[in-house]
A = this chain, B = another copy of it.
Amino acid sequence: MIFRQLFEPQTSTYTYLVADEETKQALLIDPVVEEFESYTSLLNALQLKLVYTAETHVHADHVTGASLLREKLGSKSAVFAEAGAYGADLLLRDGDVLQLGSTSLEVRHTPGHTAGCISFVGNDRVFTGDALLIGGCGRTDFQEGSAAVLYQSIHQRLFTLPPDTLVYPGHDYNGNTVSTIKQEMAKNPRLGVSKTKQEFIELMGNLKLPYPRFIDRALPANKACGREASPLRG
- Interface contact B175-A186, CB-CB below 8 Å: yes
* Of A47-55, A111-119, A144-152, A177-185, the one touching chain B: A177-185
Query: Is A3 on the interface with B (CB-CB < 8 A)?
Result: yes
Q: How large is the interface on A (under 10, 10 to 19, 20 to 34, 35 or more residues)?
A: 10 to 19
Contacts of A124 in B (CB 8 A): 3
Task: With both chains docked as a complex, state the minimum distance between the C-beta of A39 and any C-beta of chain B, in angstroms.
Answer: 16
Query: Is A4 on the interface with B (CB-CB < 8 A)?
Result: yes
The residues in A between 125 and 167 inclusive whose CB is less than 8 angstroms from any CB of B are: 164, 166
Query: Is A187 on the interface with B (CB-CB < 8 A)?
Result: yes
User: What are the nearest 9 A-B pairs in CB distance?
Assistant: A177-B183, A177-B180, A175-B187, A175-B186, A5-B164, A178-B178, A178-B180, A4-B164, A3-B164
Interface, chain A (partner B; CB < 8 A): 3-5, 124, 164, 166, 175-180, 182-183, 186-187
